[in-house]
Structure 1
Amino acid sequence: MAMSTLPPFADVVSSNLEPDSPLAQTLTTLFETSPILYSDLVPGLASYIASSPSPPTSYAELITATLQVVSTWDVSLKVRFIAGHPRIGEVKGLSQLSAREQAARATPPEVIVRLAHLNACYEHRYPGLRYITFVNGRTRMAIKDEMEGVLGLEPSLRPDDPPVEAVGIVEVGSEEWTKELERAVEDLGKIAQSRLKALGPG
């Protein structure tokens, strides 16, 4: 299967708001498809481009503009935005780029199982959030270690230790919870820039 490609940039910045428009196609490739992408991000970014005295002139600048639009959203919209990205360790239903980034075939089964438990722990500790990280070529084993560090856990391959409830709960809207949300959004921008480099548009 051929790698995804991006439409001509001139078409992107002059496109309409339809789900199959060049702008929507580009955002889907760089940020993953999700309902909020079509309902809020595409029209918000189109409005930003139309009203900006210095509209983006490249895909890299388009990603920066996208994050600028997302930064103006309330918490509930940001949560829905990061929820459009697959969980670390998922192996089914991934976009072509996500599958390549997560290097599914190189991961031992016990690491996949451990990551599923760590995702559950993370989502219990940070209600409403999903763990997002810029993989940047790292293995899932390395990401497992990173997640354990975030959760304050010792490195392990045990599939269900500790119990999910043992990691505690961080209050929604608290400083710690909000920092995790903002970090996730920032990492989505890093992922998008990395995808852009992998696609190699002009």
Structure 2
Amino acid sequence: MRSWIHSVKPLGDFSQAANPLQPAHPPSPLPPLLEAASDTSEQEDGPLARALALLFEPSPVLFSTLIPALVSHIQNAPPILSYYALIDASLSVIASWPDDLRAQFIAGHPRIGEVKGLSQLSAQEQAAKATPPEVLARLAHLNACYEHRYPGLVYITFVNGRSRAEIKDEMEEALGLEHSLSPEEPPVQSVGQVEVGSEEWRQELARAIADVGKIAKSRLKTLGVEPNPAEP
């Protein structure tokens, strides 16, 4: 199995439930669109990188690969008129990548149920309500089951205001498992495994990337950025 599969971050600490999130400070504001769309510096502290890290979560592949590719794309495409169009342009670039880079990109998002080391936006999305510890423990097991079934992938879903308990049910249904609060059943190895690069594996990768796009556009609304009605 290729080495990039083993670079996916380890499962987080699910030992404590998160309290309802009330951040002391609002998320960092987006740079002005014109600054981001015209930034060709490719620097991690440049306006384009800061904007994409806020919308997509920071990750090595975002800085090393997406930023340079997006700069080239913007220079050879019609003007970017909104942050929504910038997200669409980013997804278009990502769609052209090989599987390993796309898998690395989605791995930049935290796992469902993680409670430590989250960005403010990710914490708001995942922990709008306090989560019982038994749900967090079940999510940790479901993440392990999912990552056994789909080597190299992490489970990504557009939470859209749902509780972690609701996402637990969604994950069980996606894996064909019964609803439960067991932190260890069924055994991870019993879930079965999908071959890396197979049609099912690539469909799941594509679904995850599409949900990352939905999350990014939802974050724009959280930050007070509405779609441009003049755009198609």
- Is the Cα–Cα contact under 8 Å of residues 145 and 155 in structure 1 kept in the other structure? yes
Residue-pair matches, total: 201
Identity across the alignment (%): 63
Following superposition, the deviation at residue 10 of structure 1 comes to 0.7
| Structure-2 residue corresponding to 1:30 | 55
- Is the Cα–Cα contact under 8 Å of residues 6 and 201 in structure 1 kept in the other structure? no
| Structure-1 residue corresponding to 2:22 | none
| Structure-2 residue corresponding to 1:51 | 76
| Structure-2 residue corresponding to 1:71 | 95
Distance 1:112 1:4 in 2: 28
Distance 2:214 2:128 in 1: 20
Following superposition, the deviation at residue 5 of structure 1 comes to 1.1
- TM-score of the two chains, using structure 2 as the length reference: 0.85
| Structure-2 residue corresponding to 1:19 | 44
| Structure-2 residue corresponding to 1:184 | 208
**More helix as a share of residues:** 1
- Is the Cα–Cα contact under 8 Å of residues 70 and 78 in structure 1 kept in the other structure? yes
Distance 1:32 1:176 in 2: 26
Structure 1, unaligned stretches of length 5 or more? none
Following superposition, the deviation at residue 105 of structure 1 comes to 5.0
Matched, 1:94 2:109: no
Structure 2, unaligned stretches of length 5 or more? 1-24, 227-232
SS state of the match for residue 100, structure 2? helix
Higher relative contact order (CA 8 A, sep 6+): 2
Distance 1:55 1:181 in 2: 29
Distance 2:82 2:169 in 1: 36
Matches of residues 1-202 of structure 1 in structure 2 within 5 Å?
A: 1-15=25-39, 16-52=41-77, 54-103=78-127, 105-201=129-225
Structure 1 vs Structure 2 CA RMSD: 1.0
